[in-house]
Structure 1
Amino acid sequence: MKINCIKLHEFRNYADASFSFAPGVNVISGDNAQGKTNLLEAAAALSTMRLFRTGQKKEGLRFGQSAGSILGEFEAENRDFTVEIRLFANKAAEVWRGGVRMKRQGDARGILKTVLFCPDDLYLIRAGAAARRRFLDAALCQLRPNYDKVLSEYEKVLAHKNRILKDSDEKPALLDLLDDFSLRLAHLGAILIRYRAYYIRKLSEKAAAVHKEAAPSETLGAVYKTVSGVQDPFASYAEIERDLIEHVMSHKKFELAAASCLSGPHKDDLDLTINGVSASSFGSQGQVRTCALALKLAERDMFFEDCGEYPVLLLDDVLSELDRRRQDFVLNRIDKGQVIITCCEEDITRKIEAGKVFTIQNGRILAESDRAQ
């Protein structure tokens, strides 16, 4: 799996730019605020159909522009694909695949698979539960198209239920719909929980093995924390759904009092430990960063095991945030598959055995060199 080319038009600080990548390691160098992260955001969007720094795609448009695009040409499963995301200031974004507009943006999600690792991910362990849910969802939406569809519907139904709970004082008649939305959430939630449980079980095994390489004296543990009423997240969908229904109905009065939906997998978390002790509460800065590295690199291994191809690894200025030992640990694990890595520091750039190096300045390619030649 590899990206051959990305063309940007009126995206972020790029007016027009075209990048042709090497199949191995590609380095994007340059000073801060020149557009390096913008390029990685575009690459990630070609797999997730989302911009990782904003919830609204139109915010990816270059300042003052009404339309722009991200076009990617890539190879996956021994086939060539072209995916284009067209951005507009005054209407919803469009996704085109092979010159045909997709009815659902999700229909193009996950054809290209990527794993993104940015500085914020180094604090994944100490961040709130929402950050760890996004980490899980980003992977599962690429690996399992059905998960993506269910998650999208779950989020819409959840928004409707929360609106009913918030507006019920002024519009009591809305409460007649509350149970219907709770039942639908339980049905969709059961599917999400089962997917997450199986994914986390495999992820925890691989992450523990990766972590052991980086820190031989430590053991990383990962436990899925979901709705307390769910007796077994590996049970059948029907059993999980019954547990969820019972839980939400027993919490109905609390949801009404809070005017918010309190029960469901939108509250899930991933509990991480080091040698049996909470990594979030008691881990040192170095331990927390090693945990994050282990999770991201294990995610990459999971993709390979599932698809038979390494996903494109996107590293956004992560190495400069790591000490030399952890830098070397990462560099020793990027010899397979395609990698696009951004960095500012020359000494780090020299350590990377890159096939191609791009130097970026103010949204333009200042220099491009092919080291493979």
Structure 2
Amino acid sequence: MNIRSLTLEQFRNYEQAHFDFDPAVNLICGENGQGKTNLLEAAAACSTMRLFRTAQKKEGLRFGQDHARILADFQAQGRDFALELRLSRLKSMEIYKNGVRQKRQSDVQGLLKTVLFCPEDLMLVRQGAGARRRFLDTALCQLRPYYARYLEEYNRLHDHKTRILRDSEEKPSLLSMWEDFSLRMAHIGAQIIRYRAYYCKKLLQAAAAVYADIAPQEVLSGEYQTVSSVTDPFASAAQIEQELVDHVLSHKQAEIAARSCLSGPHKDDLVLLLDGRSAASYGSQGQVRTCTLSLKLAERELFFHEDGEYPVLLLDDVLSELDRRRQDFVLNRISAGQVMITCCEDGISDKLRTGAVFQIKNGKII
């Protein structure tokens, strides 16, 4: 799997730029603020259908512009694809695969698979549960198209139910819809919980093995935490759904009083442990970074085991945040597959079998 070329038009600080990538390692150099991360964001968007630095796709537009395009030609599973993302200030993003407009984002999510690793991720262990849920969802939406559809519907239901609860004091009649939304959220939530549980099990096994290679004297483990009433997240969807229904019905008055959805997979977490203790609370900075590093490399391995080919690895200036030992560890683990690395340091290129080097300045290749 690799991106052959990427064309950006009016995207971020790029007016017009075309990149032909090497199937192995691509080094993207330049000073801060020149557009290196913007390039990786465009590549990642062709996989996830979103911009990893903002929830508002219109923020990807170049200043003063109303429209932008990202065009990617890539190879996956032995087939060639052309993907076009059209961003607009006034409309939702339009997606074209091989020239044909797609109705849903989930129809193309995961055709191209990417794993993104940026400096902010190094604090994933200590961030809130929402960051870890996004980490899980980003991977699962690429691996399982049905999961992306379930997640999209659940988020929509959650938003509607939250508005019902929020406005119910002024309009009590809205509460007549509370049960319908709660039951539907339980049905969809059961599917989400099962997907997450199975993925977390595989992810933690793979991450523990990677961590042991870096720090053999320590043991990384963890657990997937979901609604307390769910006795077994690996049980049938019907059983989980009933447990979710029982839980939410028993908490109806509490939700009305709080004016928010108090339980559901929107509050799930991935708890990480080092030698049986909370990595977030007791881990040193080096241990926390090694945990995240292990999770990201494990994610890449799981993608490989799923498809038989590595996803495109996007490293956004993360090597400069690691000490030399961890730098070398990462570089030794990414000898296969396509890699795009942004950096400001000239010394990084000496450690790479670089296939292509791009020097970026003010959104232009020089």
Q: Is the 8 A contact 1:343 1:349 kept in 2?
A: no
Partner of 1:325: 325
Query: Normalising by the residue count of structure 2, what TM-score does the alignment of the two structures yield?
Result: 0.99
1:299-326 residue CA offsets vs partner (Å, 9 max, x unmatched) = 0000000111100000000000001110
User: Which residues of 2 match residues 112-123 of structure 1 at below 5 A?
Assistant: 112-123=112-123
User: Which residues of 2 match residues 169-248 of structure 1 at below 5 A?
Assistant: 169-248=169-248
Q: Distance in 1 between matches of 2:14 and 2:349?
A: 23
Question: How many angstroms does 1:106 deviate by?
Answer: 2.0
Partner of 1:257: 257
Corresponding letter in the other structure for 2:202: K
Q: Is the 8 A contact 1:50 1:57 kept in 2?
A: yes
**What is the SS of the residue equivalent to 2:333?**
coil
Query: Do structure 1's residue 57 and structure 2's residue 57 form an aligned pair?
Result: yes
Corresponding letter in the other structure for 2:358: F
Question: How many angstroms does 1:332 deviate by?
Answer: 0.5
**What is the SS of the residue equivalent to 1:55?**
coil
Show structure 2 runs of 5+ residues with no match.
none
Corresponding letter in the other structure for 2:357: V
Q: Is the 8 A contact 1:27 1:356 kept in 2?
A: yes
Question: How many angstroms does 1:57 deviate by?
Answer: 1.1
The range that moved more, 99-108 or 241-250, is 99-108
Partner of 1:361: 361
Q: Distance in 1 between matches of 2:88 and 2:168?
A: 36
Question: How many angstroms does 1:132 deviate by?
Answer: 0.1
**What is the SS of the residue equivalent to 1:64?**
coil
Q: Distance in 1 between matches of 2:92 and 2:115?
A: 26
Query: Do structure 1's residue 21 and structure 2's residue 21 form an aligned pair?
Result: yes
Query: Do structure 1's residue 283 and structure 2's residue 280 form an aligned pair?
Result: no
Q: Distance in 2 between matches of 1:224 and 1:106?
A: 25
Corresponding letter in the other structure for 1:47: S
Percent identity of the aligned residues? 64
Question: How many angstroms does 1:200 deviate by?
Answer: 0.4
Q: Distance in 2 between matches of 1:221 and 1:246?
A: 31
Partner of 2:43: 43
Query: Do structure 1's residue 106 and structure 2's residue 106 form an aligned pair?
Result: yes
Query: Normalising by the residue count of structure 1, what TM-score does the alignment of the two structures yield?
Result: 0.97
**What is the SS of the residue equivalent to 1:169?**
coil
1:260-317 residue CA offsets vs partner (Å, 9 max, x unmatched) = 0011000000010011110000100000000000000000000000111100000000
Q: Distance in 2 between matches of 1:158 and 1:322?
A: 38
User: Which residues of 2 match residues 78-89 of structure 1 at below 5 A?
Assistant: 78-89=78-89
Structural RMSD (CA): 0.6
**What is the SS of the residue equivalent to 2:232?**
coil
Q: Distance in 2 between matches of 1:70 and 1:301?
A: 27
Show structure 1 runs of 5+ residues with no match.
367-373
Question: How many angstroms does 1:105 deviate by?
Answer: 2.2
Question: How many angstroms does 1:103 deviate by?
Answer: 1.1
1:77-108 residue CA offsets vs partner (Å, 9 max, x unmatched) = 00000000001112111000001111112211
Q: Distance in 2 between matches of 1:253 and 1:174?
A: 14
Q: Is the 8 A contact 1:72 1:84 kept in 2?
A: yes
Question: How many angstroms does 1:349 deviate by?
Answer: 2.5
**What is the SS of the residue equivalent to 2:241?**
helix
Question: How many angstroms does 1:350 deviate by?
Answer: 2.1
Q: Distance in 1 between matches of 2:30 and 2:260?
A: 46
Partner of 1:306: 306
Partner of 1:271: 271
Corresponding letter in the other structure for 2:213: E
Q: Distance in 1 between matches of 2:54 and 2:122?
A: 19
Q: Distance in 1 between matches of 2:106 and 2:201?
A: 26
Question: How many angstroms does 1:254 deviate by?
Answer: 1.2
Q: Is the 8 A contact 1:34 1:360 kept in 2?
A: yes
Corresponding letter in the other structure for 1:44: A
Q: Distance in 2 between matches of 1:326 and 1:70?
A: 33
Partner of 2:127: 127
1:11-49 residue CA offsets vs partner (Å, 9 max, x unmatched) = 000000000000101000110000000000000000001
